[in-house]
Structure 1
Amino acid sequence: MLIAAVDVGSARARAGLFSAEGRLLARASCGFATIAGPDGQAGHDFAEIWQAVAEALAEARRLAGASPGQIGALAFDATCSLVVEAPGFAPDVIAWHDHRAVAEARELDALDHEVVARAGGAVSPEMQTPKLMWLARHRPEVWATLAGVRDLCDHLAFRATGIEARSLCAAAAKWAYLPDRGGWQEDLLACAGISGFPRPGPVLAPGAAIGPLSAQGAPELGLAPGTPVAAGLIDAFAGALGAAPDMPALIAGTSNCVMAAGLGPAPALWGPYLGAILPGEAVSEGGQSATGAALEQVRRMYPRPATHDDILARIAAAPAEPGEGLHILPDFKGSRTPFADPLTRGTIHGLALDGSIAALDGLYWRAAVGIALGTRQVIAHMGLAPPRLAMAGGQARAPLLRQLYADATGAEIHWQPEDAVLRGTAIAAAAPLAGGIRAARARFARPVEVTRPDPAARARRERDWRIFLRMQQQRAEIVAM
């Protein structure tokens, strides 16, 4: 029996097949488009996402030599994008990074409510409540005809099974839902003018059984009808579940998220969210938006096609660290932690009129340094001083970046070589068959590779850190002017 996991990110759907013992056997991916709109709007076509999921699953099965009947369980994780089922609303997926609801988020900030407190006192426009408010106000004809509105991971499971259910992970982290305060916060929904949106079905803990693949969903995915589907997670939470346990986790992908248990509500931190990953355990999140996206933007500037691996290999082989004199604040899509300001923008100091490969390598590397220093700041803001930090996500696959994060944060980086995000979702899929999500996590654990801080880099990173803080001060002074 094989376990299937699907991860839908910002631009690609990825599928992984795992053995029952947790070994990754095959992985494949397929891209889908982002549809840009005015005023910071961005969306996707769900039909294109669904087709990408199907193609990734088919390729993973081909690579593993697996028949549909060999797949014994399935779960989905996804970005916290919002799927809107209503006539005439297109694109029908509002991307997680869509910032159309900044004004609505600021209105929520003024409310004395526990939902706002657990959003760090400043609700992000990337959350679902302000996006629902925007829909109700700006598209009343859509609001009046809503057939369904779901987090993307929930809509994937709904399309696969035809069964209404929501993941506790998504509900607690992105909606007006507090599992330890009675669930849906009807007073806040009423105050925001959005109490009427459809939300049938139970809210299920990650790894809880939803039901079997439907007669429609199974052939669309190329799997057998009746294949069990379990409740999934938001992608960063799946990464934390699949990363090395018993330490804070850094999920470094399109954005960077630091996940830690045992923290209370605090400014510019999201959480604590009870049961969002493991039953009885509350997790909090600090983060930086669009970090990997910033590196991707630099990659696209190269005159000839280059992969991230190519760029990093060239930087690692260089006789000296590139980008001397360049310093970057990487908040190009706002600041989650520590400033909780979606309108903050990035800053580059020392940029020359040089489009050479060497200059672009320097820009890429110094952007990575700025991102790693931002992670150090997030960790400090969370009150953590971890000797160990589990790392997952696309950036974790690069040894040079793992070393950079170790040097910037001063923590040992623990990395499980097989894909932690897909592994976390596979753990959720396997949980009903393994005796629960904790038992499945123990079964799926893999040996870690440890990257320790390099003492020779300490002085250089400390200098970078002082400049990083000073640039933030100067940016604040300029904004105030």
Structure 2
Amino acid sequence: MGELLIGAVDVGSARARAGLFTAGGRLVARASRGFSTIAGPDRQAMHDFAEIWQAVAEALAEARRQAGASPAQIRALAFDATCSLVVQAPGFAPDVIAWHDHRAIAEAAELGAIAHEVVVRAGGSVSPEMQTPKLMWLRRRRPEIWAALQGVRDLCDHLAFRATGLEVRSHCAAAAKWPWLPDRGGWQTDLLARIGIADFPRPGPVLPPGSRIGPLSPQGAAELGLEPETLVAVGLIDAFSGALGAAPDMPALIAGTSNCVMAAGLAAAPALWGPYPDAILPGEAVSEGGQSATGALLERIRRLYPRPASHDEILARLAAAKDEPGQGLHVLPDFKGSRTPFADPLMRGTIHGLSLDGSPAALDGFYWRAAVGIALGTRQVIAHMGLAPAALAMAGGQARSALLRQLYADAIGAEIHWQPEDAVLRGTAIAAAAPLMGGLVAARARFSHPAEITRPDPAARARRERDWRIFRRMQQQRAEIAAM
């Protein structure tokens, strides 16, 4: 029959990735497939769930092919995803509202003015990336869709629903993105009634990550190319999965399309999301500070090159440069608004010193200086959270680059601990394995691996401190201009 394997699926902003792990936590195969983002008016961004599901199936099939694994070897499966909103209703297409869709800015502002614990745990200023303002928008702007709702779920929950046919919500997603407080009775029906959305369908229990949902349905097994006996467990939001799969016992930076800093034991504070009790591990409340569209900014710059270049190719040239590229360029990277510390979805980025030079060398400099601005923004998030970590676990796509790990170490002044195998997929595999291994904590211990440690370079300290002073001055000047 072969070695038993644990399956993990990570659905990000543009790709579905599948990984297969041994019971000892070793990644044996990883594959990905892309899917479309469909732009709409008024800051809208959407996906087609059928396309996402096809990408999931193809990624799983390719991972099995790489591993030479039969369907029967995959004993358990879990899903993580961005906090996108799946809307099941006749006539609503595309049917997935992307996490970064900002159509509900007005509703988010209205919700943020209400004195309620849900708002407090959203940092006192609700982001349009949360699910509640999106539900308010749907109720008000598309009442015919609201009246016909068959289901409305976080993407990680809908993936599990499609796989099993069973209605279960992830405690992680519900606590972090929905009006559901685990320590205050669950669904906040008083708030739901006040904002007019108390009637949305929400059947089934809310269960902690790593809980058993059930086996694949016959349809789910056929579509995914797996056996119906494959056990599906409750997953997480992608950043939370990254924190679970990263080096333990320290704050975690998940640096992908956006940057999130996750830490336990913090009190509620402005522009800080949480604390969310038991959102990852039992008995632990986690909080999140973040920057929107960081990796997306680097991707946008990559697309400016006159000839196609991969991120790895750009980073290799930057690592080989004798002098720092892009000198004189400075970037405030808030091109999709600020989560932390300003909690302003309408804030926009700033570039100082950009020339008309469109050569690859000039674009390399622009790419690097944008990365510096992103790392400085992470430093600011960490400071706003009241953290002064000696070490920071790192996960996400940016973590695969040794050059970027060094940049974060230098900009933040902390060691970067990186487990070389994909931390987001590992976190989801831990959730998948939990029902078979006695729970999430035991599975995490089985899957943990030694970290590679990147220490700050003393030679870079003066340069990054100068960058930090300029970064803060540019923020002051931006605020002065906005006030005019």
Q: TM-score, normalised by structure 1?
A: 1.00
2:125 equivalent among 112, 122, 125? 122
Corresponding position: 1:282 with 2:276: no
TM alignment of 1:21-420, pairs within 5 A: 21-420=24-423
Corresponding residue of 2:477:
474
Corresponding residue of 1:444:
447
Offset at residue 29 of structure 1 (A): 0.2
The one-letter amino acid paired with 1:76 is F
Using the alignment, how far apart are the partners of 1:170 and 1:230 within structure 2? Answer: 14
Using the alignment, how far apart are the partners of 1:458 and 1:22 within structure 2? Answer: 37
Preserved CA contact (<8 Å) 2:38 2:45: yes
Corresponding residue of 1:9:
12
SS in structure 1 of the partner of residue 79 of structure 2: strand
Corresponding residue of 2:432:
429
Preserved CA contact (<8 Å) 2:75 2:229: no
Structure 1 gaps of 5+ residues are none
Structure 2 gaps of 5+ residues are none
Using the alignment, how far apart are the partners of 1:114 and 1:280 within structure 2? Answer: 20
SS in structure 1 of the partner of residue 58 of structure 2: helix
The one-letter amino acid paired with 2:292 is S
Using the alignment, how far apart are the partners of 1:63 and 1:454 within structure 2? Answer: 38
The one-letter amino acid paired with 2:156 is C
Using the alignment, how far apart are the partners of 1:149 and 1:336 within structure 2? Answer: 25
1:112-165 CA distances to partner (integer Å, 9 max, x unpaired)? Answer: 100000000000000000000000000000000000000000000000000000
Offset at residue 280 of structure 1 (A): 1.1
Using the alignment, how far apart are the partners of 1:138 and 1:459 within structure 2? Answer: 52
Using the alignment, how far apart are the partners of 1:264 and 1:113 within structure 2? Answer: 16
Using the alignment, how far apart are the partners of 1:116 and 1:49 within structure 2? Answer: 31
Using the alignment, how far apart are the partners of 2:447 and 2:391 within structure 1? Answer: 20
SS in structure 2 of the partner of residue 150 of structure 1: strand
2:467 equivalent among 449, 464, 467? 464
Using the alignment, how far apart are the partners of 1:62 and 1:352 within structure 2? Answer: 47
The one-letter amino acid paired with 2:129 is E
The one-letter amino acid paired with 2:476 is Q
Aligned length: 481
The one-letter amino acid paired with 1:464 is D
Offset at residue 447 of structure 1 (A): 1.2
Offset at residue 226 of structure 1 (A): 2.1
RMSD: 0.3
1:210-239 CA distances to partner (integer Å, 9 max, x unpaired)? Answer: 011001100100000121000000000000
The one-letter amino acid paired with 1:127 is M
Using the alignment, how far apart are the partners of 1:261 and 1:451 within structure 2? Answer: 23
Using the alignment, how far apart are the partners of 1:459 and 1:135 within structure 2? Answer: 50
Q: TM-score, normalised by structure 2?
A: 0.99
The one-letter amino acid paired with 1:407 is D
Using the alignment, how far apart are the partners of 1:251 and 1:370 within structure 2? Answer: 16
SS in structure 2 of the partner of residue 216 of structure 1: helix
Offset at residue 455 of structure 1 (A): 0.2
SS in structure 1 of the partner of residue 53 of structure 2: helix
SS in structure 2 of the partner of residue 258 of structure 1: strand
Using the alignment, how far apart are the partners of 2:412 and 2:107 within structure 1? Answer: 35
SS in structure 2 of the partner of residue 342 of structure 1: coil
Offset at residue 319 of structure 1 (A): 1.3
Using the alignment, how far apart are the partners of 1:161 and 1:434 within structure 2? Answer: 21
Using the alignment, how far apart are the partners of 2:196 and 2:365 within structure 1? Answer: 49
The one-letter amino acid paired with 1:420 is A
SS in structure 1 of the partner of residue 198 of structure 2: coil
SS in structure 2 of the partner of residue 91 of structure 1: coil
Using the alignment, how far apart are the partners of 1:303 and 1:190 within structure 2? Answer: 53
